[in-house]
Structure 1
Amino acid sequence: MKIESIWIKNWRSVKEERLQAQDLMVIIGQNNHGKSNLLSSILFFFGEIKHQDLDFYHGSTELFVEIQFGALDESDKTTFKKYLTSEEKIVVRKSAYLGGSFEYKGYIENPSEDWLQEANASAYTKRELASSLPFHPYIPESGRITKQDIIDAQNEYIRNNRENIEFAFELETTNFLGLKTVAKGIFGEVYFIPAVKEASDDFSSKDSSVFGKMYAEVVALMSEHNNDWKETKENLGRLFSTLNKKDHEGNENNERPQQLIDFEQELTDELTAWGAKVELEVNAPDIESVFKANTQVWIDDGVRTDIKRKGHGLQRALTVALIQVAAKKAFADAEAGGEQGNRKASNSRYFIFEEPELYLHPQAQRSLFDSFVALSESGSQVILCTHSSGLIDVERYKSIYIATKDNDIDGTKVKQCTENLFEGDSKKDFNLSYWINPDRGELFFASKVVLLEGATEKTVFPLLAKKLGVFRYEYTLIDCGSKDNIPLYVKLMNKFSIPYVAVYDRDHQIHKGPDAVAAADRSTKKIEDEIDANIGSSVVLENDIEEELGLPNGGSSKPYVALSYITSEGFSVTPQMEQKIRAIYDAGA
């Protein structure tokens, strides 16, 4: 099953926020705006971290994280049968209270009729009353009617008459699944790698580590399919059975070592006054646990040592390698399942990463992102928070979650886009612009985005801004590839409420005919129609950048020529161009 939506209330900096989940969720935002708090709320729900009093938002005494799950397999539907909606989803809330206690509760579709509500089942156990109710065909024909008989009859009636019954979707009054605390892992396996952590922790053989969980699967497969392993387990079992008084069938063991018999007797003799006897029983160890507990990971990079003795970069690379192995394995399992006609799923696996880019160079970050994508496409869900544009793919804009916090009163809010923005040719054009501007993922981290027609503007504008003393590092310049691509980026900026300025050419050059001018005006109108004045603005260059700078027409290598021109001795910025550069870099615009 998979997370479909998340509702967070009063968790750390999050006053209240709802997220629509994706298979890949990349949480970004400025420092101290709540990225890690969004991530930790999910970890809290899964029981990976415990809440503390400091986790409650601004004096609140109760907090909760509520998750809706979908894509349930048959096993999930059986486990969570009570909570299954007509759309085959379940919704579960984990609440915590100031002082330390917490509880899980699920939502149930409760029939509006009292006689169909499970909570009232005990009121209808008298046969005379039960026989008068519509569910009477489903109660036992004779004998005493129990509460469970009534519940079974209610459920059977609901199954056969669902379309004629009114339901209220409400939080149950009892504990989820009737359990005081929900067993860890009941919603699926969680693999969490925090930002600051020893790689040796990830590679320990403990069941709580990422390596330990994956290694446990390997050991389980060995136990199931490896004949030598099976034989070893059987021999070990026989060896330990010879140490006990009776064998596994309850017969006297005549092969028991005399040393154990003598030791038992010596202890018994000392307890004569108590009338007690001592009997030692030796249990065979779980060979899987022994195997895992005695496994260590060593690295030979020219010098063979344990992980702790390696540099941070190599330590992080090992963790990345682990993720990539998990991605390939999950993808292979999903493909095998598809070939056999099974549901393409990950058996509910959630990979959660905090700043996975730490200690990794840009190329390694891009490789890591591909592994995250592979994991998400194999059926697992991947959730991460990051400061790196290398872990963002603009084409996957639905996977991007921007955390913002304008003030402490409203707390952390999230900007996300759940709809399809581009179709047909516009989608193709937007995706192709990646090759013009491969670092465009940076725009999601910018305080303002400058959308440009081409490479010349992107080359000269920063230098001119520095000459004028108005340059800002927090601004990102995007080469959209053409004037007609600018509206695509404007649409994206509007959806995420990212401030922007669209800079384009008027294209009314004197040599252009009426048709060319009309085409330019149509392109201009598309840009202006798309701009949301509450978020963005535009700056129009008279005809083109070359004319604005005073460059001669024609020629090649425009960015280089323009750069050479503005850095040449005697060049000065015209008042008109200075006004436009200042407008582009104006923080208040």
Structure 2
Amino acid sequence: MSHLLAEIKIENYKSILSEVFELSAYTPLIGYNNAGKSNILSAIKWLLRRTSLQVNDFNNLDLPVVVEGRIDGITDELLNSILPSHKVSISKFIVDGSLQIRRTQLVPGDSVARIKLQVFSSEATAGSEWVSNPTGIDNALNALFPEPIQIGAMENAEEDVSKSKTTTTIGKLLGEIIGPLETQYGAQVRNVLDELKGIMDADGHSRAAELRQFDTAVNQKIDSFFPDINIKLHVPTPELKEVFNKGTIKIYEHQDSEGRDISSLGHGAQRSIQMALIRHLAELKREEENHNTTTLLLIDEPELYLHPQAIEIVRDSLKALSTEGYQVVFSTHSAIMVTSDDIADAVLIRKTRARGTYKRSTLKSAVPHIEADSASQIGLLFSLSNSSKILFSEKIILAEGRTEQKLLPRLFEAIAGKSMGLHKYALISMGGVASTKKSMQVLEVMDLPTRSIVDLDFGFINAIKDGFLDEEDTDVVACHMIFDEIASSNGITLAQNGWPAKSSSMTAAEAFVVLANQIKAQPHIEAIHQKLLLHGIWLWRMGSIETHLGIVGKNEMVWASFANLMKSSYLPDLIRDYNGVADCINWLIGNEAI
């Protein structure tokens, strides 16, 4: 793609108070219902094709609606491909291949003529950088961006594929093929229409006998009321363009000879046909001589009512379009629409009463702030299994162990009274404590609140490596000394660094459980726990979640048995350290008492 709308700033439009959104060739807008994703799509279209906004389009009636966009990738080759007059109109405003435009409507219902289109000029004096309505700028923009294609929500699918309007997919398709149809069949159709006009027209040269009989019979009756008036029944004949523009879709199933309206199909079938037509429209437009335009394709929830395989087909089709002269911006609730390659460009949309619709930082904008060696961690975090959780949640819980993955959601719901999903939490496996810092860093620069749950050994090894604790921390040093004292008597093997190592009799994790049972170590462990809380990290003070729960083993049988016991048991009696587990759950949901 040679050029695209790379950024859009929207002010006072519907739910959007003021926000800047970065756009790419394939941009998923991800957020909960009513977050304002559709408003972003509409604002993009309004920037490029002005219409008069009404009262409901203004967030604050006392302020104007302003939408500003930056177009990147305007090369000399592109400028040389458009009309010289268009090139002259925009060349002087282009800086480093970019053009900035701004559209403003002051009050609701204002006339289209009063809606300003401004262009940023780097050569203008300070305070007057925006030049209003430069001559020819609208036509020049049309040369770069043809009419955007906006596909609304599912309730519009039937109309979009069955009613021929300039704004519908079927209308656009007919608009693409009407030229060849007129060339090939125009004369033939005109002859037929002229014949029909002669028969049906009030002044037709071959007016039908039935119509003349009707005229005579009615005029005899009118004559008694108005002697000087005659009437003729007139049946207008459509013009050539009207004939071609009345096209619609008929559905044929099981080789039926009689077609049905698309309204007879279910929503899934309607949406499938709609997406197929969009794909065909794209292919037709790619065959046009002008390959230097970029068509914005703005779609609300393209996956709606489709089964998973069909969603994959739609995704692949839209991604193909994004490399073939289309810029695709769409809202979605499906992780299938967003592959790991698309994560960097996904825009997480949220809305609050105070901020209105806003975005979280994209991974693409966050990458410069992430350590260079975090690439593999990004891939792990946003694998297909995790992406749906991360992208569609408000808060992230990172947990190392498989027991947390299996049992923590059940414990969370039992203690908090609502599931993690209702709290908008996602529970993500870190793939080892060595990933804790990098995982948190990736998510936090994306403005995704994150908390981590780790075993006790993290507090003495990885916490120091990651910089959460100092090696000379008094509590760390104290626990180090306790290990020296208890190692030999408890069968603990210490590594050269003085911390437990795996041996034939005990794992390092089991050695830290032994430490947790030492009464003199517990105040120091508690102090380390509190220090890590300041970094958003929960440390299992008794060694691991298994120790707190009172279970032995990490396998499906142990987890299933405990889950079944939870259904019929009083949790404070079932869980060895109920208060410690409850403290963790309450900390996750932000209980101020913890």
TM-score using structure 2 length: 0.66
2:332 counterpart letter in structure 1: T
Question: Could you say what secondary structure the match of 2:342 adopts?
Answer: helix
The change in CA–CA distance for 1:403 and 1:110 in structure 2 (over 3 A counts) is: closer
1:430 corresponds to 2:383: no
The change in CA–CA distance for 1:197 and 1:544 in structure 2 (over 3 A counts) is: same
1:412 corresponds to 2:344: no
Which residue, 318, 321, 325 being the options, matches 2:273?
Answer: 318
Contact 2:101 2:120 in 1 (8 A): no
1:441 corresponds to 2:388: yes
Structure 2 residues not aligned, in runs of 5+ = 197-203, 208-236, 461-491, 502-507, 510-527
Deviation, 1:438, is 1.3
- Name the structure 1 match of 2:228: none
Question: Could you say what secondary structure the match of 1:318 adopts?
Answer: helix
Deviation, 1:187, is 2.8
Which residue, 561, 564, 568 being the options, matches 1:567?
Answer: 564
Contact 1:471 1:585 in 2 (8 A): no
Q: Percent identity?
A: 22
Deviations 1:477-509 (A, max 9, x none): 112333233334322321232222111223379
Residue pairs, 1:73-88, within 5 angstroms: 73-74=78-79, 75-76=81-82, 78=84, 79-84=86-91, 85-88=94-97
Contact 1:64 1:93 in 2 (8 A): yes
Deviations 1:212-270 (A, max 9, x none): 323433455x56xxxxx855446667999999xxxxxxxxxxxxx9879xxxxxxxxxx
1:52 counterpart letter in structure 2: Q
The change in CA–CA distance for 1:54 and 1:381 in structure 2 (over 3 A counts) is: same
Question: Could you say what secondary structure the match of 1:412 adopts?
Answer: strand
2:21 counterpart letter in structure 1: L
The change in CA–CA distance for 1:50 and 1:290 in structure 2 (over 3 A counts) is: same
- Name the structure 2 match of 1:540: 539
Deviation, 1:194, is 1.0
Deviations 1:21-56 (A, max 9, x none): 211222233444433322221132233764102322
CA distance in 1 between partners of 2:133 and 2:387 (Å): 50
1:391 corresponds to 2:337: yes
- Name the structure 2 match of 1:577: 581
Question: Could you say what secondary structure the match of 1:197 adopts?
Answer: helix
Contact 1:440 1:478 in 2 (8 A): no
Deviation, 1:376, is 2.2
1:100 counterpart letter in structure 2: G
1:37 counterpart letter in structure 2: N
- Name the structure 2 match of 1:273: none
2:100 counterpart letter in structure 1: V
1:296 corresponds to 2:249: yes
Contact 2:396 2:449 in 1 (8 A): yes
- Name the structure 1 match of 2:64: 62
Contact 1:451 1:478 in 2 (8 A): yes
Question: Could you say what secondary structure the match of 1:478 adopts?
Answer: strand
1:465 counterpart letter in structure 2: F
1:83 counterpart letter in structure 2: I
- Name the structure 1 match of 2:297: 351
Contact 1:62 1:95 in 2 (8 A): yes
1:426 counterpart letter in structure 2: S
Contact 1:33 1:412 in 2 (8 A): yes
Contact 2:493 2:500 in 1 (8 A): no
Deviation, 1:439, is 4.5
- Name the structure 2 match of 1:507: 457
CA distance in 1 between partners of 2:494 and 2:150 (Å): 60
The change in CA–CA distance for 1:210 and 1:544 in structure 2 (over 3 A counts) is: same
Structure 1 residues not aligned, in runs of 5+ = 113-165, 224-228, 244-256, 261-282, 522-527
Deviations 1:281-312 (A, max 9, x none): xx99657x633434533242676421011122
Deviation, 1:190, is 1.2
- Name the structure 1 match of 2:317: 371
- Name the structure 1 match of 2:104: 95
The change in CA–CA distance for 1:322 and 1:515 in structure 2 (over 3 A counts) is: farther
- Name the structure 2 match of 1:246: none
The change in CA–CA distance for 1:292 and 1:33 in structure 2 (over 3 A counts) is: closer
The change in CA–CA distance for 1:18 and 1:183 in structure 2 (over 3 A counts) is: closer
- Name the structure 1 match of 2:224: none
Contact 1:6 1:66 in 2 (8 A): yes
Residue pairs, 1:184-333, within 5 angstroms: 187-203=145-161, 204-220=163-179, 222=180, 230=183, 232-233=185-186, 286=240, 290-300=243-253, 304-325=259-280, 333=286
Question: Could you say what secondary structure the match of 1:357 adopts?
Answer: coil
CA distance in 1 between partners of 2:412 and 2:405 (Å): 11
CA distance in 1 between partners of 2:442 and 2:88 (Å): 41
CA distance in 2 between partners of 1:50 and 1:511 (Å): 77
CA distance in 2 between partners of 1:458 and 1:443 (Å): 15
- Name the structure 1 match of 2:129: 170
Deviation, 1:582, is 3.3
Contact 1:507 1:517 in 2 (8 A): no
TM-score using structure 1 length: 0.67
- Name the structure 2 match of 1:480: 430
The change in CA–CA distance for 1:512 and 1:213 in structure 2 (over 3 A counts) is: farther
Please provide the CA RMSD for this pair: 4.4
